[in-house]
Structure formats: structure tokens, C-alpha cells
């Protein structure tokens, strides 16, 4: 793969950067303190078309390639982690309907999701169910021309804002995906507050009490909700989160360099302190390494390589752990000032922590990456042994 961005990607990068600098960053602190995405900012994001960045042009989307989507999420992540989470869940819902929806579902939902006039949210996590997604307790039962849903979802990103929800429920004892509209009978949304970081993610609890939806709102087939619908959604989520972590690390680095240049101690700027230089060096190098992992994952996604799944896991694991170290060092460089909201690194530090939990914890990543390495090693050993046997056989025949 080529590491260099092409001319079009560089053009988009500059556009995204300008938008984040002029429109998102001025609202970031306010978003955090009010625990919401400011309506004026939401209108600007919608007008820019970024909520449809991942959807085809035929439905009104921007149809960006995955590397460009990664660049968008990196830049937005640099400005506000909560706004980046809005892009993520919008993409998860839109891409799920694009891939598994009927033509009627695609024609009905995708044009408004692409323009942002409809906002989507992904309902998987429950009070007792996180990483063990196959054990969801929400149920769906077919009753004539309707499905009846009962259950409780929690920590649902953008649940306070969303117009439509992609809900995972057990149907015939199999995880199944459904499209649920906010105004469905028996469906209620309870806002949550007090999140450690990404406070403007507008999380909510969803409750379904004999919630009735048309049977046509089944997405895909009964039993394919996890394997076919949710897992690709989560894969997209991990990719955008990894890219957002790179952007957040860049924000930490920029703030730290600026502070190190301006902060005078013992008669000189602290940038001259070798320990400060070491921290800034590690920030820069690890951020760039994470960016390259994201570019590789995006490239493999674009060419349809099945290795993209594990490369996305790798990128998200490295980027999310990286940004926590970078944010911690940024606070350390700022000293006491880094612990106060007057300096953005205080928010960056809190936002960074969320990324090691969402779309798979760091520990789940470690289990899956290690398991994959073991499987790959065994496969390579079998291939090597087979080649040796063929070679031995050829030698005996000679």
C-alpha cells in the first residue's frame, strides 16, 4: 500500500481541518460543560454533509473512501470527541441499513440519514451485557404484522438525539436486528448525565415496554443480528474511534508544545528541559505510528481485504492506549494548570479514557489479537510442515 495521501484526500483533509478549527473547536468546551452538542454546531455539521460521509451519492451521501473517512474522524476527534462519536453512530446505522436493508428500507431511511435530517443510534449494550453481546436480554416476538420488543438498553450514544435506533434483541432465541423509530408505541428514552469524558455524547437509556414495530422493520434475517449486522457496525465504529484517537492525540501534542514554549521556569522555557522533550517526542512518534495503522486499516477496508478486520482491531487497540498515555503526559507537562478546565488538556484527559472502553475494551482487544496471532502461527507451521513433507517426498523420488 502507498503511505502518501492522494491529491483529493489532501484536499479533503484541508477542508476538514478548516471546518474543525472554525466551527467545532469554538464549541468544544461548551459541549463538554452542557453535556450536549450545541444545536448551532449540529446544524453546521448537518449542512456540511459530514453525517453522510460514508453513504453512497445515490442516497445523498458523500461516498468517501475509508481513508478519507478516517481523516475526517481524525480531524473531528482533534476538535471534539463527542462530535466524532456522532459521526460514528450515524455511520453504523446508515451502513447497516445500506448493507442489510430491503430496497424499501434503504429508500426510506438512507436519504435522510445521509443529509442528517434523521439521526441514528445503535442499541446493543444493556445494563448486564457489554462485551458478551450474544447474551443480550431484550426480546422480540412476532405478533401478527408486528414485532413486540421488551427490554432495556444502556449507555446508548446519541440516544437523546436520535430519531431512529438500530436495536439488537433475541428473536426465537437468536440475536436479531430491528429498526425502531423514536415515537414507536412502548418505546422511551431516558437521558443520562455525569459521564467521565466525551460528555456531549448525549448517552441515554432506552426502555421497551411491549414496544410495537411493523414486521417490515426487521433488518436482515432472524438470527443474523450479531454476526451480519452488529459485528460490521462495530468494526466501522472501531475504525472511526481509532482515527479519532489520533486526532485527540494531535490536540494533546499541539497544546503541550504551545505550553512548553510559553511556560517559563528557572528563567527558561520548559521546552528546554530534556524530560519535557522526551514526553513530546514520544507523543509525536506514537501519534504518527497510530495514524499509519489507521491508514493501513482504511486501505484494507477500501480494497475489501479480510485482513482489514484484525488490522482495525490492532489500530483501535494501539490508538486508544496511545492516546491515554499522550493525554496523561499532556496534563503532566501542564502541571497544576492541566488539572483545571481553563486548559483543554483537562478535557482531553477525560475524553481519552473513554476510548479504551467503547467498541470493545482494551482487554477484549488483547484477547482477540493474541488469539489471532496463535491461530496464524499454527497455520504457518502447518504450511511449513506440509512444504517440508512435499520436499522430502520429491527428494526420495529423485
Cβ contact 163:213 at 8 Å? no
* 335 contacts: CB under 8 Å, gap ≥ 6: none
Whole-number Å distance between alpha carbons of 184 and 168: 16
Which among 35, 126, 356, 359 is annotated as catalytic? 359
Structure letter (DSSP) for residue 37: -
Q: Of the candidates 211, 193, 212, which has an alpha carbon nearest to the alpha carbon of residue 203?
A: 193
Whole-number Å distance between alpha carbons of 137 and 168: 9
Is 14 designated active site?
Answer: no
By 3-state DSSP, what share of the chain in percent is helix, strand and coil, each rounded to 5?
65, 15, 20
The torsion region of residue 198 among left (phi > 0), alpha (psi -120 to 50) and beta comes to left
Q: 81-100 and 103-115 helices cross at what angle (nearest 10)?
A: 160
Q: Which residues are catalytic?
A: 359
Amino acid at each position: 500500500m502507498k503511505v502518501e495521501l492522494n491529491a483529493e484526500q489532501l484536499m479533503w483533509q484541508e477542508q476538514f481541518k478548516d471546518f474543525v478549527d472554525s466551527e467545532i473547536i469554538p464549541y468544544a468546551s461548551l459541549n463538554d460543560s452542557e453535556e450536549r452538542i450545541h444545536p448551532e454546531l449540529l446544524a453546521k455539521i448537518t449542512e456540511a454533509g459530514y453525517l453522510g460521509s460514508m453513504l453512497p451519492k445515490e442516497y445523498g451521501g458523500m461516498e468517501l473512501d475509508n481513508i478519507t473517512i478516517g481523516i475526517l474522524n481524525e480531524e473531528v476527534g482533534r476538535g471534539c470527541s463527542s462530535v466524532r462519536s456522532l459521526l460514528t453512530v450515524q455511520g453504523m446505522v446508515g451502513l447497516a441499513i445500506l448493507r442489510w436493508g430491503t430496497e424499501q428500507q434503504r429508500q426510506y431511511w438512507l436519504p435522510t440519514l445521509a443529509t442528517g435530517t434523521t439521526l441514528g443510534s445503535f442499541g446493543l449494550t444493556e445494563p448486564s451485557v457489554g462485551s458478551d453481546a450474544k447474551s443480550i436480554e431484550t426480546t422480540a416476538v412476532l405478533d401478527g404484522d408486528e414485532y413486540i420488543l421488551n427490554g432495556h438498553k444502556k449507555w446508548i450514544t446519541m440516544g437523546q438525539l436520535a430519531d431512529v435506533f438500530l436495536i439488537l434483541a433475541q428473536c426465537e432465541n437468536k440475536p436479531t436486528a430491528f429498526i425502531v423509530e423514536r415515537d414507536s408505541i412502548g418505546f422511551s428514552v431516558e437521558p443520562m448525565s455525569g459521564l467521565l469524558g466525551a460528555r456531549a455524547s448525549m448517552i441515554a437509556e432506552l426502555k421497551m415496554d411491549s414496544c410495537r414495530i411493523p414486521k417490515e422493520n426487521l433488518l436482515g434475517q432472524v438470527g443474523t443480528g450479531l454476526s451480519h449486522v452488529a459485528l460490521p457496525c462495530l468494526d466501522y465504529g472501531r475504525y472511526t474511534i481509532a482515527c479519532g484517537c489520533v486526532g485527540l492525540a494531535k490536540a494533546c501534542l499541539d497544546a503541550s508544545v504551545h505550553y512548553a514554549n510559553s511556560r517559563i521556569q528557572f528563567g527558561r522555557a520548559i521546552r528546554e528541559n530534556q524530560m519535557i522533550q522526551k514526553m513530546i517526542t514520544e507523543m509525536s512518534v506514537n501519534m504518527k505510528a497510530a495514524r499509519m495503522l489507521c491508514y493501513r486499516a482504511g486501505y484494507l477496508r477500501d480494497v475489501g481485504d479480510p485482513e482489514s478486520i484484525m488490522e482495525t482491531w490492532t489500530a483501535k487497540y494501539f490508538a486508544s492506549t496511545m492516546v491515554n498515555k499522550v493525554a496523561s503526559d499532556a496534563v503532566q507537562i501542564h502541571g497544576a494548570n492541566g488539572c483545571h478546565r481553563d486548559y483543554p488538556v483537562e478535557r482531553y484527559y477525560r475524553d481519552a479514557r473513554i476510548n479504551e472502553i467503547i467498541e470493545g475494551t482494551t482487554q477484549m482487544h488483547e484477547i482477540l489479537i493474541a488469539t489471532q496471532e496463535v491461530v496464524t502461527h499454527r497455520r504457518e507451521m502447518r504450511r511449513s510442515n506440509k512444504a517440508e513433507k512435499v520436499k522430502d517426498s520429491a527428494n526420495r523420488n529423485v
